[in-house]
Amino acid sequence: MSIQLVTTVAGLRAESARLLGAKRGSSQGLVPTMGALHEGHATLARTAVEHNDVVLASIFVNPLQFGEAADLDRYPRTLDADLALLEEQGVDLAFAPSVEEVYPGGQPLVRITSGRLGEKWEGASRPGHFDGALTVVAKLLHYGTPAAGLPAGTPDGASANGGLPAYRAYFGQKDAQQLALVRRMAADLNFPVEIVGVPTVRAADGLALSSRNRFLSEAERDAALVLSRALRLLEERANAHEPLDLDSALALVESQPLVELDYFDVVDPDTLEPLAENCRETPFRGEALALIAAKVGPVRLIDNVRLSS
């Protein structure tokens, strides 16, 4: 079946309800994106298609989460290619609304506040970014909520979810702070949705796929590889139960003149608070996230890896 494109919230609700009924489906998945889709997004979509009877993907470049107007203006827009990629993964519905459709009254007065968790790391360099991102994610999660009214006793999640269809939303671990915040928002504000984190998809040489990679020159792309190499070094040390020795990994990044490092640290995976110094000098034990962000040429890149030992 071919993918359908809808541009209004009413259209999305009507079509997703129709599909859920037509398929006698008992689960619905949502994949929020900003378009310019690549294999990372495709993996999110494929995972959602494996888990759910009906899958919606949104394509919306959210002005609320951009600091600089220039960054918003130059964000790549590739709708036709995006629709083809989503269709290939088996997504049922693509939702690509205008800014006016999502914010009919202009900028929303009331927003989600990301709090302390949103002020550090990416939030420190991009003030207001996560408030804007969570506000649109909250709206998208509402739009994608499956319609009630399925026949009783439908298999899968429907019975586990009080008779309602199961509802899941898919986010990449690539944006680790965003994922942690979306999980907290859903838990703190009782959103009736399961948040599913999907592992980071990388190019063969290790660079995490990103819609912004297309703005890197060849030399910058080569230089950017130092981010995933430094993370890999920490991962290898954690796997070998060795001290993480963050300083030597940091020195590797700083040896690359085209890379302007913003932050590089090892943090608790839920609170994103830096871990005690001892995980650097004594063998690493436990669970952590290593986070890195840097500017390479015109592009701000982020990456992370989960450490477990």
What tokens does 60 get? 């919306």
Coil/strand/helix, residue 167: strand
Near ligand AMP by CB under 6 A: residue from 13, 41, 51, 221? 41
Q: Which is nearer to ligand AMP, 131 or 175 (CB)?
A: 175
- Burial bucket for residue 114 (CB in 10 Å: 0-12, 13-18, 19+): buried
CA 4 to chain centre: 23
In whole angstroms, the minimum distance from the beta carbon of 263 to ligand AMP comes to 18
Near ligand AMP by CB under 6 A: residue from 20, 44, 96, 226? 44
Q: Does 15 bind ligand AMP (CB under 6 A)?
A: no
Q: Other CB atoms closer than 10 Å to residue 166's CB: what's the count?
A: 23
Near ligand AMP by CB under 6 A: residue from 40, 132, 146, 157? 40
Q: Does 29 bind ligand AMP (CB under 6 A)?
A: no
Q: Does 172 bind ligand AMP (CB under 6 A)?
A: yes
Residues numbered 220 to 259 that lie near ligand AMP (CB under 6 A) are: none
What is the pattern of x (binds ligand AMP, CB under 6 A) and - over residues 187-206?
-----------x-xx-----
Please give the order of strands across the beta sheet that includes 27-33: 4-6, 93-95, 54-59, 27-33, 166-172, 194-198
38 as an active site residue: the answer is no
Q: Does 175 bind ligand AMP (CB under 6 A)?
A: yes
Residues numbered 284 to 303 that lie near ligand AMP (CB under 6 A) are: none
CA-angle at 8, arms to 29 and 157, nearest 5°: 20
Near ligand AMP by CB under 6 A: residue from 137, 186, 195, 209? 209
Who's near 212: CB < 8 A, 6+ residues apart?
Answer: 299, 300, 301
Q: Which is nearer to ligand AMP, 27 or 177 (CB)?
A: 177
Q: Does 139 bind ligand AMP (CB under 6 A)?
A: no
Q: Does 174 bind ligand AMP (CB under 6 A)?
A: yes
Q: Other CB atoms closer than 10 Å to residue 99's CB: what's the count?
A: 13
Report CA torsion sign: 51, 55, 56, 59: positive
In whole angstroms, the minimum distance from the beta carbon of 19 to ligand AMP comes to 22
Q: Does 46 bind ligand AMP (CB under 6 A)?
A: no
CA 260 to chain centre: 23
Options 41, 51, 129, 241, the catalytic residue = 41
With beta carbons less than 8 A apart as the criterion, state whether 139 and 132 touch: no
Q: What amino acid positions are annotated as catalytic residues?
A: 41
Q: Which residues bind ligand AMP (CB under 6 A)?
A: 33-34, 40-41, 43-44, 171-172, 174-175, 198, 200-201, 208-211
